[in-house]
Amino acid sequence: MVEAVLWDVDDTIFDFSGSERTGLLRHFAAEGLPSGEAALDRWHRITAEGYARLAAGELTYGQQRRERVRAFVERPLADAEADAWHDRYVALFEAAWTAFPDVAAVLGALPYRQGILSNSRAVHQERRMRALGLRHHFEVLLCSDGLGCAKPDRSAFLAACAALGLPPSQVAYVGDQLDMDAVGARDVGLLGVWLDRAGSAAPVPGGVRRITALGELPALLACS
Ligand SMILES: [Mg+2]
């Protein structure tokens, strides 16, 4: 019997990819740079390289961000200029923040306690949920930076259940990543629900439930 629903945020509740895409395209255009799919691909490639150097300990977070900006604009920029360029992007990204259109109705209608478990920084997700007018739906908002562990580590799911004071068997987890979210949750004893918005043809592992829109969630939970 489900008593509570835990949620992923990015690309489950918050349209991270769409908001980022809109923010980037507007930013490139505002900076007088080529905009479009090729520019997005180039930015994402440069970003992946920057994050790899961050993960390898070659650069600090601030250094890799500036290096990404310099690589993208293909000009030497002082630190302050690179920071300002990135700040202008962030302002347009934040102006483009949106929740998926099926989110508000489902969060408001579910007769369960609700919480967030995200592999992000709590300060970011608190701001996003408040900006989108959704924060009041969630009793707890837990992120990997505060927990010291991240999905699909079982410790992350167990910490979220403990925060609700419920055993995993009474908690459902809803997320867009099959392995990290739904399989990870299932392996710890939660009801793992994979939100497959793209309607992919990927096989669904045993014990995992798949939905393609949040409107399917109330009936699924009511039968669980
Ligand atoms: Mg996600």
Sheet strands (E) in the chain? 4-7, 113-118, 140-143, 171-175, 191-195, 208-211
Ligand 1 centroid vs 169 CA: distance in angstroms? 22
Ligand 1 centroid vs 156 CA: distance in angstroms? 15
Under DSSP, is residue 110 helix (H, G, I), strand (E, B) or coil? coil
Query: Are residues 11 and 115 located together in one domain of the fold?
Result: yes
Ligand 1 centroid vs 10 CA: distance in angstroms? 4
Q: What's the whole-number mean pLDDT along residues 88-114?
A: 97
Ligand 1 centroid vs 28 CA: distance in angstroms? 25
- Which structural domain, as residue segments, surrounds residue 201? 4-15+98-222
Query: Are residues 85 and 136 located together in one domain of the fold?
Result: no
Q: Which of 51, 76, 95 is the C-terminal boundary of a domain?
A: 95
Q: Which residues surround ligand 1, an ion (CB under 5 A)?
A: 8, 10-11, 176
* DSSP label at residue 200: -
Secondary-structure percent of the chain, ordered helix, strand, coil, rounded to 5: 55, 15, 30
pLDDT at position 224: 80
Nearest Cα neighbor of 99 from 116, 82, 74 is: 116
Q: What's the whole-number mean pLDDT along residues 1-13?
A: 97
Q: Which of 51, 68, 95 is the C-terminal boundary of a domain?
A: 95
Measured distance CA(153)–CA(209) in Å, rounded: 20
Q: Which of 78, 95, 112 is the C-terminal boundary of a domain?
A: 95
User: For 146-204, how does the pLDDT look when each residue is reduced to its tens digit (9 = 90+)?
Assistant: 999 999 999 999 999 999 999 999 999 999 999 999 999 999 999 999 999 999 888 89
Ligand 1 centroid vs 88 CA: distance in angstroms? 25
> What is the reported pTM?
0.91
Query: Are residues 81 and 147 located together in one domain of the fold?
Result: no
* Total count of domains within the chain: 2
- Which residue type occupies 126? E
User: For 12-66, how does the pLDDT look when each residue is reduced to its tens digit (9 = 90+)?
Assistant: 999 999 999 999 999 999 999 998 999 999 999 999 999 999 889 999 999 999 9
98: pLDDT strictly greater than 90: yes
